[in-house]
Structure 1
């Protein structure tokens, strides 16, 4: 059984054009879409119903040579329904021209409400998505700030440990230097006249000689004052 391609292509074109016209808001285009869609469906039914044959009347031909009567009945029914819908749409077009002067289908209050509700839902969903994006951004910034604070704290701890290590090294170096050079330094509680380590020491005889010389230098002043004292005692 071979399928004719030209009637199938014609029916597909009629169905596509009718469906496209049904989406228009003009009643005249809607009427044309209904007519084209009905004719395309009828042509498709007749094309795929099978090969042609004799009229399906008993007694006039053999049953094997008769055509299938079911597709023909369906096509006749479709033609009647299409004519009824066409008449109804023609009446609507005429009434629309009388009332409004045009065939455009206007939106009623419920249609506007549905459209506004859908727009409100879209706007609300966009706002919620924006809030979620903002929360994700804030969470990311907080995580980045926490990471930076942790890195700064770790760096401060490393710097503190390094400073403490340097201080300990400096203290150990100072202790080592004091142990090496502490014998050459005077003790902190010794008098200023104490001999320094490494200075030449004087003999006891030199100290006695210097002491007698000093008393000899002060003796004339003491002898000059004694007669006056004895004279005062005699007069008294």
Structure 2
């Protein structure tokens, strides 16, 4: 088992590629799904967010109104930084639990679907491969406006809060071009999956697993905690 980071930009089609990989049987640890889980009512992160941002960001059922909170943090870099400092540690802990689960099930590789993979750089040193889902800027803007019912100004504001896709593209070991048809994207995903399945990168992790059974398990567990803490 080894780790593959999947990222992109907002409305670039990362979720589409992630779904295609899941259909191929790849285990996906989705940071967005985890992020929603760790801020559910009665969690530590939920309490801290309400404390700092006020009860007005809550829906009637007590859940966080993600759109309302999003408008606040995308308009203020310091508030965005505060929110990340609350949620990221909890997200990393939950992701580690899922990685261990899939590792024990014997999968060849695990995909970490992380929107801000290159922005935070918290995980990049521990990934064997990184994949960026790319589309041209005009397509990305129009998709975002349509998907989230945003004005052009609002959409541009959200895009400006992220690293440009061209920059992410230069940092990735693999690029999925998602400006054309779904069929074209699917062909690229199939080629990527075959390449990852054929990779020998999983051998190092198996060596570490053998080492753990030889009495180094505590050291490896400590290292994992350091990575995601």
Q: Higher helix fraction: Structure 1 or Structure 2?
A: 1
Higher relative contact order (CA 8 A, sep 6+): 2
Q: Which has the larger radius of gyration?
A: 1
Normalised by the length of structure 1, the TM-score is 0.20
- More strand by percentage: 2
